[in-house]
Amino acid sequence: MSTWLKNNVLLITASYAILLLAFTVISERSVEAANDCTNTSNCKVQVSFIGEYLEDTCEISINDGSSSESIGLPTLSTSELKNDAAEKGSQDFKIALRLCPVNRTVLLKFVSAGSTTPDPATGNLQNEVAVDYSQNVQVRLRKAAGPQMVVGDATSSQEYVIPSTGADVTHYYSAGYYAKGANAVTQGLVRTTAGIELVYQ
């Protein structure tokens, strides 16, 4: 009789969003003028800070729900994950950005959250470690077109181009089991958590 992976869930939450502000320091004096200050205790140099504040940030909706949802993965036999790097049991989901600042490009990235951390070797979400939890199994995230979304990698992102109308923008993803290493995947539960990070350009 085959053994199985059961009651498995991927939690995705908008754990935090980052609003990037570009600040530039500008000296209003020339190098020669600044050098004149070397022997002056009361010398002043003007400095300007140039930044940008976004009045609005996006709302995140996962599968037409909130910004914190669970993605159920199917029950599989462990025999389907016998080989290293085997992938099975993919489940599609979607993430929409709503009420965003218009005419912006927003980058969505997956990051670690909760008690689990990504595997730096595979870029996958690792399973929680506890009694009755499966071993040697991870969860891999992909874009709808296939490329992997590497968790915790600053260069791995999905671009959301927000139109001038401010309409919602939706992209699709998938999550699936991934066998890690030469040891067999053991039966048990799979539970892992990913955070969402938004970078406003």
**Topology at the third CATH level for domain 4-19+57-200:** Immunoglobulin-like (2.60.40)
By DSSP bridging, strand 59-62 and strand 87-98 are: antiparallel
What is this structure's pTM? 0.77
Label each residue of 115-149 as H, E or C: CECECCCCCCEECCCCCCECCCEEEEEEECCCCEC
Instruction: Tell me how far apart the alpha carbons of residues 125 and 68 are, in angstroms, rounded to a whole number.
Output: 17
pLDDT of residue 6: 53
Domain coordinates in residue numbering, the chain: 4-19+57-200, 20-53
**pLDDT higher than threshold 60 for residue 14:** no
Strand (E) or helix (H) holding 158: strand 158-161
Q: Which one-letter amino acid corresponds to residue 126?
A: Q
Give the model confidence (pLDDT) of 81-115 as tens digits: 999 999 999 999 999 999 999 999 999 999 988 77
Give the model confidence (pLDDT) of 40-86 as tens digits: 555 555 565 555 555 578 999 999 999 988 999 999 888 899 999 99
pLDDT of residue 15: 37
Cβ atoms 97, 105 nearer than 8 A: no
Structure tokens at 42: 């009361």
Structure tokens at 171: 């992209």
